[in-house]
Amino acid sequence: MISNHRITLKNSICLVLILIVLGWLAYLIFGFSSTSAKYGIFGDEGIFLTGAQRILRGELPHKDFYTLLPTASYYPLALFFRLFGDNYVVAQVFVFLNAVGIGGTMFWLGWRLLRWWSSVPAIIFLLFVFPAWPYVSHHWTFLLFALLSTCCCLQKSTGWHVTAGVFSGLSFLLFPQKALFTFFAHILIFLLFRPHGLRSAVFTICWYLAGLLPVMLIHS
């Protein structure tokens, strides 16, 4: 049974990796096709690229330039530019890593219930959802942080719960409207899936907030 379980897991991981590569190739074909080039950079993507470049020059949102988007939404890309260079290829790698991270966390979250079938949501995302909108966007980064936070919530140790709060705080900075629903979902997870009773759940929530609140306060 153990051997079969390991074979199934190995096959599932290989399948996901193969489909990630295929999705990446489909993305390259779409992203650099004549249709895509005709319309140029997607509107929101241009806003994020420009905002990240201005932050690299030392400018601040709402002080040196106006934006309707959450101010923190520019900083992940700006940090990536700082580390690897300021060009469009680096921006596309940033988007691709977001997509791979989202697909990987979706697979991990579903593994306990669906086993190798948990690859199906990841496959659908990587082959159909992401290639349909392969642009720099705070939607992708928010979703990655929200899923990472959820992964940490399902762990048992205190350190993971604090880390879950940190990722949740980052998701709040990127997209507060959506993050509010994620926050309440995490609270329900702590309340409903704590085997040691309500008191244990309350302590877990406190550790979660200990990671979330400092991120919010530092940004403010």
The encoded tokens of residue 157 equal 């140790």
* Residue bearing tokens 């409903």: 192
What share of the chain in percent tops pLDDT 70?
Answer: 79
Phi/psi of residue 65, nearest 5 degrees: -155, 150
Mean pLDDT (the chain, rounded): 81
Per residue in 10-47, pLDDT (tens digit) is 666 666 666 666 666 665 555 555 444 444 445 578 88
Weakest-pLDDT range from 132-141, 145-154, 156-165: 132-141
pLDDT beyond 60 at 51 = yes
Q: In the structure, what pLDDT confidence band is assigned to residue 1 with cuts at 50, 70 and 90? A: very low
Phi/psi of residue 179, nearest 5 degrees: -65, -30
pLDDT beyond 70 at 128 = yes
Per residue in 186-198, pLDDT (tens digit) is 998 888 877 677 8
H helices of the chain, in order, are 2-31, 34-39, 43-56, 75-84, 88-114, 119-124, 130-132, 138-153, 158-174, 176-192, 198-219
The answer to whether the predicted template modeling score (pTM) of the entire model surpasses 0.85 is no
Q: In the structure, what pLDDT confidence band is assigned to residue 199 with cuts at 50, 70 and 90? A: confident
pLDDT beyond 90 at 145 = yes
- In this prediction, residue 28 carries a pLDDT of 58
| Average confidence (pLDDT) over 95-113 | 88
Residue 139: CB atoms within 10 A of its CB come to 16
Q: Distance between CA atoms of 131 and 99, rounded to whole angstroms?
A: 10
Q: In the structure, what pLDDT confidence band is assigned to residue 220 with cuts at 50, 70 and 90? A: low
What share of the chain in percent tops pLDDT 90?
Answer: 32
Per residue in 71-88, pLDDT (tens digit) is 888 999 999 999 998 888
pLDDT beyond 90 at 147 = yes
